[in-house]
Amino acid sequence: MADVEGDPKAGPIEELLVRTGRFFTRATTSPDLHTVFKAGGREGDAFYRDRWSHDKVVRSTHGVNCTGSCSWKVYVKDGIITWETQETDYPSVGPDRPEYEPRGCPRGAAFSWYTYSPTRVRYPYARGVLVEMYREAKVRLGDPVAAWAEITTDAAKRARYQRARGKAGLIRVTWEEAVEIVAAAHVHTIAAYGPDRIAGFSPIPAMSMVSQAVGARFVSLLGGAMLSFYDWYADLPVASPQVFGDQTDVPESADWVDAAYLMLWGSNVPVTRTPDAHFMAEARYRGQKVVVISPDYSDAVKFADEWLPARPGTDGALGMAMGHVVLREFFVDRPTPRFVDHVKRFTDLPFLVTLHRESDGYVPGRFLTAADLGDGGEGAACKTVLLGRGGRPVVPGGSAGFRWTESGKGRWNLDLPTDPLLSLYGEHARTAEVLLPRFDGEPTALRRGVPVTQVGAHTVTTVFDLLLAQYGVSRPGLPGVWPAGYDDPGQPCTPAWQEAITGVPAARAARIAREFAETAERTGGRCMIILGAGTCQWFHGDTMYRAFLALTMLTGCQGVNGGGWAHYVGQEKCRPFAGWSLLAGALDWGRPPRQIPATPYFYLHTDQWRYDLFDAGRLASPLARGLFAGRHTAELVGRAVRRSWMPMAPMFDRNPLDLGAADDPVGYTLAELGAGRLRYACDDPDDPRNWPRVLTVWRANVLGSSGKGNEYFLEHLLGAGSGLPEPDETAPRGKLDLLLSLDFRMTSTTLYSDVVLPAATWYEKHDLSSTDMHPFVHAFNPAISPPWQARTDFAAFHAIAAAFSELAADRLGVRRDVVAVPYQHDTPSELGAFSDGEEGRGRGGFAIVERDYGAVAAKLAALGPLTEGAGIPVKGVTFQPGEEVAWLGRRNGVAAEGAARGRPLLDTDAAACETILALSGTTNGRLAAQGFAQLSERTGVDLHGLASGETRVTFADTQARPAPVGASPEWSGKEAHDRRYAPFTVNVENGKPWHTLTGRMHFFLDHEWMREYGEALPIYRPPLDLAALGEAGSGEGLLVRYLTPHSKWSIHSEYQDNLLMLTLSRGGPTIWMSPGDAAAIGVTDNEWVEAVNRNGVVVARAVVSLKMPRGTVYMYHVQERVVDVPLSETNGRRGGIHNSLTRLLVKPTHLIGGHAQLSFGFNYFGPTGNQRDEITLIRRRSQEVRYR
């Protein structure tokens, strides 16, 4: 046959040649002439075998701000890291669902490139002119601190090195010299200005807990300010504390499989949650329906059964319309028993709200409390009231008034003594017309009637009745103006009304809402909404979230496996939280630490407040009483600080150590304040006495990545050149004396730093990683020692501390520091505003902390006595880790001498890992059980079974394989081998209250400022119209919405400069736009464009893609200035980064404090650094680009 004899496709000549060739070789040729068999000749194999051979495999992970927390195998050959592959040994999640292994994505797989890359920081560097002046001054003055003082106080010298920031000129210095400069700067700053002029920024402890904690611990021991990150990143959903009284407690990704209905709202799971996306894909085999709401045809849309392309920033309207449908069909037309039961027990809907008579109608006021009923007992002002059967007011347990009072012991639970009335609606009910704000279009007031009754002197209604009015769900007989039906476009919040806003067809919106609720009814609440940065990071992101959360609460999905909210923005969950917080805050040596919300901090210190286009009243409710009218937002920040709602650094225009020198520091401080001699620093942030002086950035990239209003940082904080079109010449330039960064690669932040220390990578140190996506804690391990002169963050901060302590021992000695303490969430002070009145007790909240500056290094390296002496406070319980401290002393050794003599050592990163695990409830069941025992006593509910005292994860366990954590009062959900983690399951299944005012999930927020902003109830607030507010600036180009979503090719700035990832992406900065917009400005794909607005300039290449909606451009963040950034046409300076076009906008309602769940907590509650409302002009530029 032909196919045996030869290849029929081969020609006769080819066949002849091969046949001839057979006679010239000993090798055997197959009869069909396709194949020849030879023996030997495989010496070349050694090349590829060698290429893929290795000496050892080490477990580590990537300490990047990504929720992946994937464990990786790192391969080492001849002492060189060669490559990495995914670990596959995650504990099984059970037989009925997909497993976690393997986890990873192309970004992580590219990481080892950095180890030996050209961008690696190999040696300590310092700004050349600074070093020159420092050396000269040190020789002349003979003292490092005096040298630093001279350079930073001599205007000419100061300007010389500050102006040089970001303009290269970093020179190599020794570790000794670098550390000496840094130590001298710290000593001088503390002596001259005060410790609160020192700040540290290092986000996301979960991504490498010890590396974060060691620096935070150093800063805290000094009395410096650790800046928050979660709110600053605008990853913090403010709605979470508002509604749940808890910050971002969400299901692990394996719980997505439990969901029957999944909505992705502004979240692009395949791109930003790559290792977990398979759960979504696989859940569909169980019949799960996936609905994606995204303005662009995102990667997630490919997985969707339905895509609702709502216009950017209008998602809240869609959420409200869906809520309208759910309320109409599942509460009013056909009350659904499961839903009604759920909201009665677990939400504030049955609670009573007082109504106040205004000129032409009623407005909702505060919750009716026991105090209003004449109860004069403790906490009565914080005990909310509902109506029981027969209309009698009942004060159920569970509200905040039962949480912190002696008499509340055993009564802080969700037991209802009666079946509460959800609504007062009935045939004989009185009604009242309530005025409610609307913000779509020109803000005006709506008039809608609610049923009311009289309790004592108060006219009251329920939150549920108000909610129906807010959502426009009419009931016969109620006065006011109501929508005629779903297709009434004129009245909020009908499906037709939202169609005009979002572009989503009304019928589809209604159908999806109906499907969601029906599925929830039939599955017992297994409907989930995955939320992401696309909806969170707007100025009014909190209102959007409240509209979404309302859907999950109304349909009984919260606290249910497979249901509820799932917010994944930032690797927020540091599972061994208690141990980490103790170490990071140095709570074992002194309390409280200075922990400062970063958004108002940078808003003031980068002078972005000077550029506000409108006063705080501009965005207030049409029904506002005028609290904010004419008020600058910075003024409100000052008010929040004065009222102890929020801490700030610096606190006063005087060194807090000087205040501490008085005999009675607190009395003296109060007296000085009273006399007007002592002023709050935030009242005049531009006074040199009130400037921040030293900022240390590690594991972070403020100037390349997270710095909203990047050009303002450069202009005012650093004094370097900026791309600001019209800098305010009256504002200071160059506030910071020292910008210190620790990094393993050159970033925008290191390029602008004065001193750069070479850090170890994630393959070169011991540390711990965890995430909210999976329930494991696993280890970093060094595959190699830090190469060149790199050191771990741990070693670097110990070196700095040693140099500091030596310089400080005589110069600073032992001092007393006056620390202002805000009302803190999850402590009795969270009710401060109830007991102290709205004006707060700002003048009383001070603590005195002793600072032994010579002993900082010794304290840094040992676990202090307050660990067991005062316990570890976490979410209202206090762990007493006496046994653990003794064990740690035996395990890690104890300090032989000095200030920490006899205390367990924290002298290595591994010892610190061990300590964190030993002191956290999630990894130490004994402490978790302790915490649950305390909660049992408080709630009167038996919670003892939730944690096993046997659970114990040691560092070695996490090195062996990812170790599952146990349930703990640190979090709100249950952990067990046979169920996945979902938040609030303890609350729902065991009746433990939420950490809110009513103890239930909140629809209604009764703080005066919330009412002033028109956000007491869920509401639709459109994206800010910045064009109308003057943001666009002037110039040619097309005006577009400017969004900076998360990228497929990087995790923030990490990997965007990685050669492998640059090769996969287009490489260099790009802006994505629609073909229509591109045509409008005459741009074709890959051409250079320039985007310009009031804040700065960006030069990038255009990616013209059909996936983009018109009117919106994406600049995927974070494309830094280190790769392919040419000079701009606009100002001739180097084009900026994605944040060059953004500016901070502080939302006043985020400043609220001392009001139960609306109280300050570090990374729990604070103003967000939102940036999505931004707009820009974009135009084609000359295609001739120059780089210098």
Partner 1 sequence: MSGWAETALWIVTPYLTLLIFALGLVWRFRYDRFGWTTRSSQLYEHQLLRIASPVFHFGLLFVIVGHVVGLLIPEHWTRAMGITESMYHMSALVVGAIAGTCTLAGIALLIYRRRTTGPVFMATTANDKAMYVVLTAAILAGLLTTLLTSAFGEHDYRHTVSPWFRGIFVFQPDAAAITAAPWPYRLHTAIGMLLLAIFPFTRLVHAFAAPLTYPFRPYIVYRSRSATGGPPLTRRAPRGW
Residues in contact with partner 1 by CB under 8 A are: 14, 17-18, 20-21, 24-25, 29-30, 33-47, 49-50, 53, 78
Task: Say if strands 170-172 and 198-201 run parallel, antiparallel, or are unpaired.
Answer: unpaired
Query: Which of 21, 1076 has the CB closer to partner 1?
Result: 21
Output the smallest distance, CB 50 to partner 1, in A: 5
- CB of 38 vs partner 1, minimal distance in Å: 5
H or E segment to which residue 496 belongs: helix 495-502
- Smallest gap from Cβ 116 to partner 1, in A, equals 19
Nearer residue to partner 1 within complex by CB, 56 or 392: 56
Instruction: Give the SS3 label for residue 448.
Output: strand
**Considering beta carbons, is residue 40 or 287 the nearer one to partner 1?**
40
Q: What span, in angstroms and rounded, lies between the C-alpha atoms of 903 and 899?
A: 9
Nearest residue to 1144 via CA among 686, 608, 713, 750: 608
**CB-wise, 54 or 1133, nearer to partner 1?**
54
Nearest residue (CB) to partner 1, 274 versus 1065: 1065
Minimum distance from residue 1188 beta carbon to partner 1 (Å): 19
- b/e sequence 917-945, b meaning 16+ C-beta within 10 Å: bbbbbbbbbbbbbbbbbbbbebbbbebee
Residue 24 or 1187 with smaller CB distance to partner 1: 24
Q: How far is the CB of 21 from partner 1 (least distance, A)?
A: 3
Cβ at position 15, least distance to partner 1 in Å: 11
Q: Is 30 exposed, middle or buried (0-12, 13-18, 19+ CB in 10 A)?
A: exposed
CB of 1181: closest distance to partner 1 in angstroms?
Answer: 22
Of 407 and 1063, the one with the shorter C-beta distance to partner 1 is 1063
Instruction: Compare residues 34 and 625 and give the one whose CB is closer to partner 1.
Output: 34
CB nearer to partner 1: pick between 670 and 1064: 1064
Within 919-1038, residue ranges assigned H as helices are 925-939, 955-960, 985-990, 1008-1012
Selection from 109, 110, 105 nearest residue 299 by Cα? 105
Cα 735 to Cα 733: distance, rounded to the nearest angstrom? 6
CA-to-CA dists, residue 863 to 290, 589, 592, 879, 908, angstroms? 49, 8, 16, 15, 12
Closest distance between partner 1 and the C-beta of residue 1090, in Å?
A: 25
Identity of the residue, 55 or 684, whose beta carbon is nearer to partner 1 in the bound complex: 55
Complete edge-to-edge strand list for the sheet that includes strand 963-964:
767-769, 776-780, 963-964
> Could you tell me the smallest distance in angstroms from the CB atom of residue 24 to partner 1?
7
CB of 47 to partner 1, least distance (A): 6
Give me the DSSP letters along 966-1000: ---TTSSS--BTTB---TTHHHHHH-PPPSSSSSS
| Minimal distance, residue 40 CB to partner 1, in Å | 3
Q: For the CB of residue 25, give the shortest distance to partner 1 in the complex, in Å.
A: 7
Residue (52 or 788) nearer to partner 1, CB: 52
Give the distance, in angstroms, between the CA of residue 856 and the centroid of all CA atoms in the same chain: 30
Residue 898 amino acid letter: G
State the nearest-atom distance from the C-beta of 14 to partner 1, in Å: 7
Contact 1019, 543 (CB under 8 A): yes
User: For residues 53 and 1084, which CB has a smaller minimum distance to partner 1 in the complex?
Assistant: 53
| Cα-based angle 1008, 1011, 1013 (whole degrees, multiple of 5) | 110
In terms of CB distance, is 46 or 976 closer to partner 1? Answer: 46
- Burial class, 7, CB count within 10 angstroms (exposed 0-12 / middle 13-18 / buried 19+): middle
In the structure encoding, which two tokens stand for residue 187, read together? 């000593």
Question: Cis ω on the peptide bond leading into residue 904 (within 30° of 0)?
Answer: no
Minimal distance in Å, beta carbon 1049 to partner 1?
21
Report the nearest approach of partner 1 to the CB of residue 48 (Å). Answer: 10
Phi, psi of 859 (to 5 degrees): -70, -35
| H/E stretch holding 367 | strand 361-367
d(Cα 680, Cα 693) in Å, to the nearest integer?
Answer: 17
Nearest approach, Cβ of 11 to partner 1 (angstroms)?
12
Residues near 136 by beta carbon (within 8 Å), at least 6 away in sequence? none
Q: Of the two residues 51 and 944, which places its CB atom closer to partner 1 in the complex?
A: 51
Helix 909-918, helix 577-584: angle, nearest 10: 130
Q: How far apart are CA 1069 and CA 839, in angstroms?
A: 48
**Under 8 Å between Cβ of 469 and 450:** yes
Q: Which is nearer to partner 1, 44 or 676 (CB)?
A: 44
Partners of 448 in the β-ladder? 434, 480
Between 38 and 389, CB nearer to partner 1 = 38
C-beta of 1100: minimal distance to partner 1 in Å? Answer: 21
Q: Which long-range contacts (CB under 8 A, 24 or more apart) does 802-805 make?
A: 802/179, 802/857, 803/179, 803/180, 803/182, 803/183, 804/182, 804/183, 804/186, 804/187, 804/222, 804/853, 804/856, 804/857, 805/853, 805/854, 805/855, 805/856, 805/857, 805/858
DSSP strand E in 1105-1174: where?
1112-1114
Token couple for 986: 């303890």
- Cα separation, 708 vs 227, whole angstroms: 15
In the complex with partner 1, which residue's Cβ is closer, 43 or 442?
A: 43
Residue at 820: amino acid letter: A
Identify the CA nearest to 1038 among candidates 1010, 1080, 1100, 990. 1080
Which one, 25 or 407, has the nearer CB to partner 1?
A: 25
Closest distance to partner 1 from the beta carbon of 23 (Å)? 10
